[in-house]
């Protein structure tokens, strides 16, 4: 507060303490007659220039910045421990008939039985078509077909008409935007499988330089939570309960199918 010779006083008002003012801050200056009621106040605006602000004493040193005692821990990448033994390959696996004479029909029969065990409401023809398309597109997009079979189990339990509250559709639960970007109709069973396999292959490709097991976990996390969520988590499985549960279940089924010797 400054008192002037003509009976007026000047008050500097700011939304913060004067010590916190920075060069260029706008401040309010109120001119008021001494003893006045305030009805004749004049509100002016001024700018804080460098000579208006407190200065550090010459030679003064800034206080040291202490390093944090520990960095926040990132969620650990593996959601489940890798099973003992050689893990299954991420890329397209050879389709081995259950017996030398069974051929592709024998492979389809084995997987059809497995699919019908999850959704007995499917007809034999529907289940066979699903199996054929999974095998076909897994080879086309270089993805292990056992991983696709495991993923569909936990996405829709092989219900082609499954629609989530968020709008994810079909066997592989494609979101409308994802389906459009892939150029497929998610309501068409064949296109739904192609789109889902294609999308998962893109996520696997992102992490092609990571160890085989980590690629599976990260690609599945991308499929469930989205690639951006995985990036924000430092390219780890995000600490999201639903996503971590999903990755655990799908990867667990994938390894079970591998250990069981499914063709």
Residues marked active site are found at 155
Max CA separation in the chain (angstroms): 113
- 237 token code pair: 């499985």
CA distance 5 to 34: 11
CA distance 85 to 88: 9
Alpha helices in 141-226 (DSSP H): 145-156, 176-182, 189-206, 212-225
- 181 token code pair: 């970007």
- 103 token code pair: 């051929």
CA distance 135 to 145: 6
- 230 token code pair: 């995985």
Burial (0-12, 13-18, 19+ Cβ within 10 Å), 243: buried
Residues facing 30 on adjacent strands:
11, 43
Say if CB 215 and CB 78 are below 8 A apart: no
CA distance 29 to 14: 9
CA distance 238 to 63: 37
- 111 token code pair: 């997987």
Radius of gyration of the chain (CA): 33
């Amino acid at each position: 507060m400054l008192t002037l010779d003509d009976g007026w006083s000047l008050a500097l008002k700011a939304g913060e303490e004067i010590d916190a003012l920075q060069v260029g801050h706008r401040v309010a200056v109120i001119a008021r007659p001494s003893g006045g009621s305030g009805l004749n106040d004049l509100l002016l605006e001024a700018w804080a220039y460098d000579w208006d602000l407190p200065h550090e004493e010459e030679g003064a040193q800034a206080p040291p910045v202490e390093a944090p005692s520990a960095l926040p821990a990132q969620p650990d990448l593996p959601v489940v421990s890798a099973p003992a033994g050689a893990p299954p390959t991420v890329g397209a696996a050879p389709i081995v008939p259950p017996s030398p004479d069974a051929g592709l029909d024998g492979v389809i029969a084995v997987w059809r039985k497995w699919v019908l065990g999850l959704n007995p409401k499917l007809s034999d023809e529907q289940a066979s078509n699903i199996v054929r398309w999974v095998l076909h597109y897994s080879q086309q997009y270089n993805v292990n077909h056992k991983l696709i079979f495991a993923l569909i189990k936990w996405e829709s339990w092989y219900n082609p008409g499954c629609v989530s509250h968020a709008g994810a559709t079909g066997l592989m639960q494609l979101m409308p935007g994802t389906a459009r970007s892939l150029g497929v109709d998610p309501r068409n069973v064949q296109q739904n499988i192609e789109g889902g396999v294609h999308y998962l292959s893109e996520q696997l490709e992102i992490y092609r330089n990571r160890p085989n097991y980590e690629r599976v976990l990260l690609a599945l996390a991308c499929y469930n939570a989205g690639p951006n969520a995985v990036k924000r988590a430092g390219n780890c499985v995000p600490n999201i309960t639903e996503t971590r549960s999903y990755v655990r279940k799908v990867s667990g089924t994938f390894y079970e199918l591998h250990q069981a010797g499914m063709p």
